[in-house]
Amino acid sequence: MLRLLSALSVLSVLLLLTACAPFFHRPLASADRARVQSVDVRLVVAQESFMFSAQAPGLSAATGGGLIGALIDSSVQQSRQKEMSAEVQAIVGPLLDYDYRDEAGLAFGELLAEPTSFPLKIASSQVLAAMPDKAVHEARIAATKTGPAYLVLLLQYALEPGLGAFTTRTSAFLWQAGNSEPSYRSATIFQTPLGGGARATVIRRLTANDGQVLKAVMRDSVKQTLHVLGMDIAGARSGGIRTARFNVNGTWFTLAGQSFDELPGRVVFRDQDNAMYTVRNVAP
């Protein structure tokens, strides 16, 4: 059964905040970093299945100012999801059986087995289907005065049109010392190409052996996002300019930004809006 994304307030917040990327990034000050002894991590994945992007209006904006605005044209695209449902049902229905939250939980388990993979000690981690209600959320923030810091990650995932790439967009917020305002916030975008060929060919490749390839991509998106967040939280400095190919609503563009990490087959950089990217360095 096709379960397209409905109006989810938490994702609306994510999209709006990410669209304001120049004002969204707040580095973690060294004094605040020194005070964090451990952190409780909550990854919120409000979707029940994939979001399928429609062609965005204003796509040319991606080649001018920051790319974020073009990416988050998807807030407009939501009204077009019903028009696409028949096509999506026929072409990518087999992908809807795979649960991102399950793979995210496994990815966290693997990360917790490697305590040096994240700069902050993770006291606990949970993958949630929704944000805690207001009272619980505020109580958890207040508890940071004497307990672990509180890191919330709001994540949205999507398949680009034509199944050219898998993309996640994550907004991160860190609260500590009982303060109502987060001491750190950021936007991170992960993307990996899904290979060429007809859609049916891509689907067969993703779902073969009980979805081995698709599940691996999902887990990798969590690990790479946390890796980039960890570097930013640790105060990693940006280096030289790097470029990467990036799929925006089915169209490939070349992005450029200041590199702050080198990984095999992957480019990690900040764009002019201070959004962070981790992108496979592979030509489409």
Is 91 inside any structural domain? yes
Q: Of residues 97 and 188, which shows the higher confidence score?
A: 188
- At 85 the pLDDT is 59
Instruction: Answer yes or no: are the C-beta atoms of 35 and 177 closer than 8 Å.
Output: yes
List, for residues 71-89, the tens digit of each pLDDT value. Answer: 444 444 455 555 555 556 6
Number of domains in the chain: 1
Q: How far apart are CA 220 and CA 211, in angstroms?
A: 14
Is the CB of residue 45 less than 8 Å from the CB of residue 100?
Answer: yes
Residue 156 falls inside a structural domain? yes
State the pLDDT at residue 189. 95
What's the pLDDT tens digit per position in 227-236?
999 999 988 8
Residue 187: what pLDDT?
93
The mean pLDDT value of the chain amounts to 79
pLDDT at 83: 56
Give the gyration radius of the chain's Cα atoms.
Answer: 18
Which SS3 state, helix, strand or coil, does residue 209 take?
helix
pLDDT for residue 144: 96
Decide if 94 contacts 207 (C-beta within 8 A).
yes
Return the SS3 of 255: strand
Name the burial class of residue 116, with classes exposed (0-12), middle (13-18) and buried (19+) by CB atoms within 10 angstroms of its CB.
Answer: exposed
| Arithmetic mean of pLDDT, 115-130 | 86
37 part of a folded domain: yes
Predicted confidence (pLDDT) per residue in 157-202, tens digit = 988 888 889 999 999 999 999 999 999 999 999 999 998 778 888 8
What pLDDT is attached to residue 4? 35
Which residues have CB under 8 Å from 102's CB, separation 6+? none
Pick the residue with more confidence: 280 or 190?
A: 190
Instruction: Kindly state the tokens that stand for 13.
Output: 């917040």
Residue 2 within any structural domain of the chain = no
pLDDT digits (tens, 9 = 90+) for 244-266: 889 988 888 888 888 887 777 88
Consecutive H or E run containing 26: none
pLDDT at 109: 86
Q: What is the pLDDT at residue 6?
A: 34
pLDDT in the model for residue 55: 44
Structural domain boundaries enclosing 13:
9-280
Q: Which of 57-71, 211-225, 257-271 has the highest mean pLDDT?
A: 211-225
| CB environment 203-236: b (16+ within 10 A), e (fewer) | beebbeeebebbbebbbbbbbbbbbbbebbbeeb
158 in any annotated domain: yes
Flag whether 27 is in a domain: yes
pLDDT-based confidence at residue 69 (cuts at 50, 70, 90)? very low
Strand 241-248 relative to strand 122-128: parallel, antiparallel, unpaired? unpaired
Contact 183, 26 (CB under 8 A): yes
In a domain, 74, yes or no: yes
The pTM is what?
0.81
For residue 226, being part of any structural domain is answered with: yes
